[in-house]
């Protein structure tokens, strides 16, 4: 859960600690931290499937606290952050060495002293923020959310106007097509149907005559010179019959 979404007061957290407890040791640690939170603290509490309880608290967004308590009643992680001090205000206590942070110039407390360290830190910062600062912080967060919602609404309005313009264009196109279809249907109804015509008889075309190959002029002349001369028969002379004349 984000810090801006936390709305539980210390009294609400105390009730949730009772409902989410997994052991007497867990409940004692959580109640000790919550009791030290005087003033307008807000927070949230949750528990994972392995029984570890997680407590998150913040004071007007300027001071943030995260504590994880195991089912055995031991603190496994402490993360405090004083945002007004910059990077120097962030400190992490963890059972894992790689996660520890902010103890270069200050001696890190031993695991047995982690609860005492958290209670002291919460008590010290509780007097630095009053209800006015909390309201101002809540107002700033609400303003950001309102601006985001307004941007979303304006974007939706622009998109809606574009969709309405597209709808009007499509409606005009549909009306035009319907009018044209109605006109064409009326024309088809007034036009008589054509009478069926007999199918034309197709006559097969004759095959083209073979074209003789042309004879070259030189070959034609040569053939003319060597061609044999045809014999011309003389016409037969008529035979005159001799008629005998008797001498008188």
Tens digit of each residue's pLDDT (9 = 90 or more) over 22-31? 555 677 788 8
Report phi then psi at 154, rounded to 5.
Answer: -65, -40
Structure tokens at 138: 């809540």
Which tokens belong to 186? 């009326």
Q: Tens digits of per-residue pLDDT, 126-152? A: 877 777 877 887 788 788 888 889 999
Position 54 scores a pLDDT of 85
DSSP state of 101: B
* pLDDT > 60? residue 240: no
**In the structure encoding, which two tokens stand for residue 101, read together?**
């942070």
- pLDDT bracket for residue 222 (50, 70, 90): low
- Best mean pLDDT range from 16-30, 60-74, 154-168, 216-230: 154-168
Q: What are phi and psi of 47, to 5 degrees?
A: -140, 140
pLDDT of residue 246: 45
Read off the pLDDT band of 207 (50, 70, 90): low
| The total number of residues written for the chain in this structure | 248
- On whether the CB atoms of residues 123 and 36 are closer than 8 A, the answer is yes
When pLDDT is cut at 50, 70 and 90, the band that residue 220 belongs to is: low
Q: How far is CA 201 from CA 42, 65, 194, 197, 205, in A?
A: 101, 103, 20, 12, 12
Q: Under 8 Å CB-to-CB from 104, ≥6 apart: which residues?
A: none
The answer to which of 31-35, 209-213, 231-235 has the lowest mean pLDDT is 231-235
80 three-state secondary structure: strand
- At 74, which helix (H) or strand (E)? none
Cβ atoms of 127 and 39 within 8 Å: the answer is yes
């Amino acid at each position: 859960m984000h810090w801006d979404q936390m709305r539980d007061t210390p009294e609400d957290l105390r009730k949730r600690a009772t409902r989410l407890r997994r052991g007497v040791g867990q409940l004692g640690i959580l109640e000790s931290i919550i009791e030290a939170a005087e003033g307008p603290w807000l927070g949230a509490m949750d528990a994972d499937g392995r029984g570890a309880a997680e407590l998150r608290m913040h004071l007007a967004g300027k001071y943030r606290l995260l504590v994880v308590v195991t089912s055995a009643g031991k603190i496994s992680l402490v993360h405090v952050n004083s945002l007004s001090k910059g990077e120097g205000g962030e400190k992490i206590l963890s059972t894992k060495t790689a996660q520890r942070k902010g103890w270069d110039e200050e001696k890190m407390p031993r695991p047995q002293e982690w609860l005492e360290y958290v209670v002291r830190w919460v008590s010290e910062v509780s007097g630095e923020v009053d209800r006015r600062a909390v309201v101002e912080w809540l107002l700033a967060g609400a303003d950001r959310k309102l601006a985001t919602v307004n941007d979303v609404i304006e974007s939706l309005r622009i998109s809606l106007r574009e969709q309405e313009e597209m709808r009007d264009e499509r409606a005009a196109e549909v009306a035009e097509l319907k009018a044209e279809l109605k006109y064409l249907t009326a024309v088809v109804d007034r036009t008589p149907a054509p009478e069926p015509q007999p199918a034309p008889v197709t006559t097969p075309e004759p095959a083209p005559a073979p074209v003789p190959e042309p004879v070259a002029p030189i070959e034609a002349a040569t053939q003319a010179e060597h061609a044999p001369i045809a014999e011309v028969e003389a016409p037969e002379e008529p035979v005159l019959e001799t008629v005998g004349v008797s001498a008188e």
